[in-house]
Amino acid sequence: MRAKCLKVLLLASIAVFTVSCESSSFSSKTYRTIETNRTIVSEPLVVEYDTIFNERIYDTLIYKSTESSRSNNYLYEKRLAVADCCKNNNFDILVNVSYDIKDEDGKIRVIISGLPARYKRIRPATKDDLWILQFINNE
């Protein structure tokens, strides 16, 4: 009886050890976007960039569809598409971005287009840059 209990205890501890040793993975992608409906100014900076091409580029990316994707108007997938497009094509920013989003069969297909660019210079804003303020949405 005692040997049977030890055998059960040994099997149970092996099972717990095996379950607790399973690895999990997590990946995250970030990309800085400027959203026109929010304004936060910590230190005024002006970013100068050079466009790489004078024509729009197009990229198609596919993600898993979720209920929160639909309820959030695909905001996460849009941001992810910008980050993936920039990474896949080796540029810093996508200017004048447009999206074509299709959600079907459990997959979200994002066709993204824009003008690719690389950062040229980031500098503190000066009085000569005040004209930019007319384009900020102050709600």
pLDDT-based confidence at 9, cuts 50/70/90? very low
Q: What is the pLDDT of residue 39?
A: 60
Check residue 131 and report its DSSP letter: G
Share of the chain above pLDDT 90, in %: 19
pLDDT for 31 beyond 80: no
Residues 6+ apart with CB under 8 A from 39: 136, 137, 138, 139
Q: What is the pLDDT of residue 17?
A: 40
- What's the rounded Cα separation, in Å, for the pair 87 and 134? 32
More confident call, 27 vs 82: 82
**C-alpha atoms less than 13 angstroms from C-alpha of 64 in its C-beta half-sphere:** 1
Neighbours of 76 (CB within 10 A): 14
Q: Please, which residues have CB within 8 angstroms of residue 122's CB and are 6 or more apart in sequence?
A: 45, 46, 47, 48
> Is the pLDDT reported for residue 40 higher than 80?
no
